[in-house]
Structure 1
Amino acid sequence: MYLSWSAYYEGASDAQYFNVLIPRLLDEIIRDTGKRPCDVGEYPTLELGIGNRSFDDVAAKICERKNEFHIIFVHADLGGRGQAANVERRREQLIQKAQEICGFDPRIAVMLSPEKELEAWALADHSAVKAALGVNVISADLMPNTPIAAENLADPKASLDAIVKSVTNRRSAARNILVRIAQEQSIDELRRANSFQAFEASLRNALGHAGFLQ
């Protein structure tokens, strides 16, 4: 069996991070609760959103290639307080548009929403951040001490930038840090974050509907 997936991302840095994290998580879930051994796609079969966020265009592309993937991840950061409902409504509009065009099944859409910004997930694992930066210590004033604390940061992106700048001045470190963190992160540690729990629940529902889980 082969599990093919696609994704809609808001930006290039989001794609860099999630294209590492998603196949790791899929592989773990399938190994633990899959109906049978399954090869997971290393990269999305179809990647959407970057450079063109028109829902009409994106929905048309989803319909054009819907037979090439089993599930689709739809990303949007939750942003500040009170924005969650608006984010959910926007994502539903995209899937509804595809449903109108070609009868696309909304049950294989996985809602992907880190609290505020994806950096809240990147900062959920102390060990991964230190390993990615090649350091043994990060100032306690800069690093949140739990995944919940990372989700509660006012500006997770700014917090990660401050951590990177505190240990290196190299631009390449800042540019590649999200990829390296995603490679190192403990999935179990991420599961302590509330928004990751909601994401994984959505993912498991989609995988179950697609016939991959027991």
Structure 2
Amino acid sequence: MRIDPTRPAPRAGRPSREEPRGADEVRLCEARAAQVRHRRVTVATDRALGAAGQDLDQKTGGTLSRAMKASRFTGKKEETLAILAPAGVEFDRVLLVGIGKGEDLSEAALQASAAPSSPPWTVRRDRGLRPARLPDGGTVAPDAAAAELAFGAQLRSYRFDKYRTTEKKEAKPSLKKIIVLTAEPDAAKRAYGRLEPLAESVAYTAIWCRSRPTS
């Protein structure tokens, strides 16, 4: 997470630019313009894949569908299913994330779908996030959905590890870039522009709370 070093730091301590641990860059771009090694696909209830998911399922010879049927994954909120090195594509990992029913789809639900409680991807170097075709009944526009996914992923990528002095280097997260693929990149960038300062504020607050004197 990039923190502007010219901004005033909390009085309890002046955190260095390196203290916030998170993605260095968040990008929203057209699907065809990005090259990612790890792909995240949102799935609605009853294992409903959107246009992007259906296309990926076809390219992998039905791997996504078979993996869902062979597991308990149904597309409920925050359910996840990792598929490693699927055939037919160059992705090292495809992560299916449930978003629930269309009527339950909200900004908070989209943020949560980009940031499950136990993410297996924080140690990865890049990530491709793309919303499935939004299910019927949802009230979130596609550009706003992409922005909320980016916001949720950015928040979840933050990690305060200043005092984890014994943690091995290979155990530390190495996420460098989050890429959200969308059909409306310009509108999504404008929407995310209103959320990015909030993500930075959350990081500053977390640093201040953890760095303030105890007495």
TM-score above 0.5, yes or no:
no
Please, what TM-score do these two structures have when normalized by structure 1?
0.31
Structure with the bigger percentage of helix: 1
Structure with the bigger percentage of strand: 2
